Structure 1
Amino acid sequence: MSAAFETRSETLPLTSMGEARDFFALLKPRVMFLVVVTALGGMATAPGAVHPVIGLAALIAIAVGAGASGCLNMWYDADIDALMARTAKRPIPSGRIQPSEALAFGLTLSIGSVIVLGLVANLLAAAMLAFTIFFYAVVYSMWLKRWTPQNIVIGGAAGAFPPMIGEAVVTGDFGIRSLVLFAIIFLWTPPHFWALALVKAGDYARAGIPMLPNVAGPAATRRQILAYSLVMAPVAVLPALMGFGGLAYLVVSVVTGLAMIGLAVRVLRTTEGDAAYKAAYALFGFSILYLFLLFAVLLAENSLGLMWALPKVLG
């Protein structure tokens, strides 16, 4: 950890000052929410069905596992979090929770969530959850994030696994449907995070994190954002073309995909002053809504019997 954080940590009390909300914040609840939505999408589009009680218990285990990986990420990143304005008030760098407490909390939730998922669902789903936690907490947080500007690209796989885990809960396996959903999230991650990195480039520079804008420059980052958006948008239409997304999904995926591309073009063309920051932040904000809408519509269509087969619509 950095000298600044070590010096600060020496002055922290030996007992926790954290409240329940501080421990909850360690779980990155906004990320947990997206994990729940995407895992539900994988469960809803999987062939077959699962008992509602088992499905709910499995979903809670997946959410807790996602929170556990976020907690371990915050434990390891406490030194660089203390250097960035965006993260300095998190529970560990602010001194409300001790690093050792966060580590114990994260490990306990990690082990518990994997065990519970194995008991209520199956071993494959549990193994995939364990691998997801390991990938995010170790491969991404401890290695990729501080080593390569492609950290988000490779590390994005961790956030893309929930639909596959969801399908494994239902079927004991995973197939092309959840792989397509994996691809959508994987391709969505770089434009989402690089848009934020354009806005917070100074923060990342102070923390020594090799985000793409700090290594390759803002212009190259803007081109990469557009490139990924151009690939992501048509991939996001595949569920409708493959029959596990209906007419509503087709319309939403096309319209919002075009909006993502339009915002990426705006980011590419807007390079100066506050307008550039506003363009990047607008893309970052809309990208969250984009992913949520895709999976919410998939979930509604598959869970509420609102599916319309695309061949019938066209023909």
Structure 2
Amino acid sequence: MRVREVHLVDGAPIRFRDRLLGYLALTKPRVIELLLVTTIPAMLLAGRGTVDLPLILNTLFGGLLAAAGANTLNCVADADIDKVMKRTERRPLARATVPRSHALVFGLTLSVGSFFWLWWTTNLLSAHLAAATIAFYVLVYTLLLKRRTSQNVVWGGAAGCMPVMIGWSAVTDTIGWQALVMFAIIFFWTPPHTWALAMKYKDDYRAAGVPMLPVVATELQVTKQILIYTWLTVIATLALAPAAGWLYGSVAALAGAWFLIMAHRLHAGVRRGNPVKPLRLFLQSNNYLALVFVALAVDSALALPTLFS
């Protein structure tokens, strides 16, 4: 007589709907949204004045598969610390909603699928960039850097910069200086964005043994680093202005001033010993990056005159 295996979560059987939602949660949909937001403007800038909708959709789908695969494999590698941190204790593997072995197969399948999809619908360069991104995020950042150095997000953030490179290469089959500048924008933006969140949840990271900068440094040191990287972010956005039109240049300057004011206020508050709300900078940094890249997308689609023309 066969005995039916029943999986439990918090003492209750796992429903099919919960299992399905668990697989979806492994991909971290909110993170994917931000990655896709940066891909479209890169493609529109590469084909300035031309909107190739089929190519954009195919590249977005390939990028979605790559990001979903990388995020799932990240969850597999971090399953042990996700159980310890309050911020992540409800993730599928922490709650055993999805078996870890199934998540591993799911992540690998998505990753391989992204490579062949991009190769088939765009070009081999884009496919290789996607594969390199997944490998770097999982092997270098998650397994090597994250638990060993306080500079983990500085170098690990390079994986989050790759969608602009993939988008640019999908259109041009090359990597131009504009793509490198867009890479730099996201690279410099990642530390202040992530460290602001880590300031709020530093006890979580300390409990998990992850040496995020706010865990091993004072708040004053952290906010000083946030300020430096915020300045570098804004400078990088302005460096892209010669390749774009007046709309992008104007928005980049105004949004950059706003972003800098927020970072300076956070640093000044800590320096004066006042209560601060770092999570506010984390949330507004998302809006800043989205605003800059949406302006770039509109500017590029309309092929507006440049500030220097």
CA distance in 2, matches of 1:141, 1:175: 28
Report the CA distance between 1:235 and its aligned residue.
Answer: 1.4
Show the counterpart of 1:4. Answer: none
Residues 176 and 208 (structure 1 numbering): CA distance in 2 closer, same or farther, change over 3 Å? same
Kindly report which structure 2 residues correspond to 1:269-280, keeping only aligned pairs within 5 A, or say none.
Answer: 269-271=268-270, 275-276=275-276, 278=277, 280=278
Matched, 1:248 2:247: yes
Residues 64 and 273 (structure 1 numbering): CA distance in 2 closer, same or farther, change over 3 Å? farther
The amino acid across from 1:288 in the alignment is N
Matched, 1:196 2:197: yes
Report the CA distance between 1:132 and its aligned residue.
Answer: 0.3
Show the counterpart of 2:73. Answer: 72
- The structure 1 segments of at least 4 consecutive aligned residues displaced by more than 6 Å after TM superposition are 11-17
CA distance in 1, matches of 2:303, 2:30: 28
Matched, 1:264 2:263: yes
Show the counterpart of 1:33. Answer: 33
Residues 194 and 178 (structure 1 numbering): CA distance in 2 closer, same or farther, change over 3 Å? same
The amino acid across from 2:41 in the alignment is G
Q: Is the 8 A contact 2:66 2:115 kept in 1?
A: yes
Work out which of the residue numbers 278, 297, 300 in structure 2 matches 1:299.
Answer: 297
Q: SS of 2:294's equivalent?
A: helix
Matched, 1:133 2:119: no
Report the CA distance between 1:307 and its aligned residue.
Answer: 1.3
CA distance in 2, matches of 1:255, 1:311: 18
The amino acid across from 2:233 in the alignment is M
Show the counterpart of 2:233. Answer: 232
Matched, 1:185 2:186: yes
- Uncovered stretches (5+) of structure 2, i.e. residues with no partner: 1-7
Report the CA distance between 1:146 and its aligned residue.
Answer: 0.5
Q: Is the 8 A contact 1:16 1:96 kept in 2?
A: no
CA distance in 1, matches of 2:228, 2:12: 46
Cα deviation, 1:177-208, whole Å, max 9, x if unaligned, reads: 11110000000000000111111110000000
Q: Is the 8 A contact 1:92 1:98 kept in 2?
A: yes
Percent of pairs with identical residues: 39
Q: Is the 8 A contact 1:226 1:265 kept in 2?
A: yes
Q: SS of 1:96's equivalent?
A: coil
Q: SS of 1:147's equivalent?
A: coil
Show the counterpart of 1:5. Answer: none
Report the CA distance between 1:175 and its aligned residue.
Answer: 0.5
Residues 215 and 127 (structure 1 numbering): CA distance in 2 closer, same or farther, change over 3 Å? same
CA distance in 1, matches of 2:167, 2:100: 31
Show the counterpart of 2:4. Answer: none
Show the counterpart of 1:288. Answer: 286
The amino acid across from 2:229 in the alignment is Y
Report the CA distance between 1:12 and its aligned residue.
Answer: 10
Cα deviation, 1:248-286, whole Å, max 9, x if unaligned, reads: 21221111111111111111122388832x2x1111011
Q: For structure 1, which segment, 60-69 or 12-21, has the greater mean C-alpha deviation from structure 2 after superposition?
A: 12-21
Report the CA distance between 1:16 and its aligned residue.
Answer: 8.0
Show the counterpart of 1:308. Answer: 305
Residues 53 and 17 (structure 1 numbering): CA distance in 2 closer, same or farther, change over 3 Å? closer
Q: For structure 1, which segment, 40-49 or 285-294, has the greater mean C-alpha deviation from structure 2 after superposition?
A: 40-49
Show the counterpart of 2:224. Answer: 223
CA distance in 2, matches of 1:16, 1:149: 40
The amino acid across from 1:43 in the alignment is M
Q: Is the 8 A contact 1:17 1:96 kept in 2?
A: no
TM-score by length of 1: 0.89
- Uncovered stretches (5+) of structure 1, i.e. residues with no partner: 1-7
